[in-house]
């Protein structure tokens, strides 16, 4: 637990930078998660972010599902 607490940011940065370098994605089947939402603009293009917002608006026009959690629509 101490390692995770002390090194989480450094390890995540190392992993995320390699994922980006090889064209991968930092999100998983369950999404990006609220703890890493601030990292999303660094790893996703403005076009990808707008596509995500468009899908959110299309699938949840009343913004009932997790409003304001990851994407501000």
Residue 26 CB coordination number (10 Å): 17
The predicted pLDDT at position 30 comes to 62
Q: Tell me if 73 is assigned to some domain.
A: no
Confirm whether 37 is domain-assigned.
Answer: yes
Which tens digits make up the pLDDT trace of 9-54?
Answer: 899 899 889 988 998 877 666 667 777 788 888 888 899 889 988 9
Q: Does 6 fall in a domain?
A: yes
In a domain, 22, yes or no: yes
**What is the reported pLDDT for 73?**
66
Residues 43/20, Cβ–Cβ less than 8 Å: yes
Q: Tell me the residue range of the domain where 30 lies.
A: 2-59
Answer yes or no: are the C-beta atoms of 44 and 34 closer than 8 Å: no
Q: What burial class does residue 40 get, using C-beta atoms within 10 Å of its C-beta: 0-12 exposed, 13-18 middle, 19+ buried?
A: middle
pLDDT (0 to 100) of residue 26: 75
Residue 19 domain-assigned (yes or no): yes
Question: What's the pLDDT score for residue 60?
Answer: 93
């Amino acid at each position: 637990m101490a390692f995770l607490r002390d090194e989480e940011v450094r390890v995540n940065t190392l992993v995320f930078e390699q994922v980006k370098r090889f064209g991968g994605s930092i999100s998983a089947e369950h999404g990006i998660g609220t703890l890493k939402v601030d990292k999303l603009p660094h790893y996703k293009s403005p076009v990808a972010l707008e596509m995500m917002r468009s899908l959110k608006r299309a699938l949840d026009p009343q913004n009932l599902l997790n409003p304001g959690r990851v994407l501000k629509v």
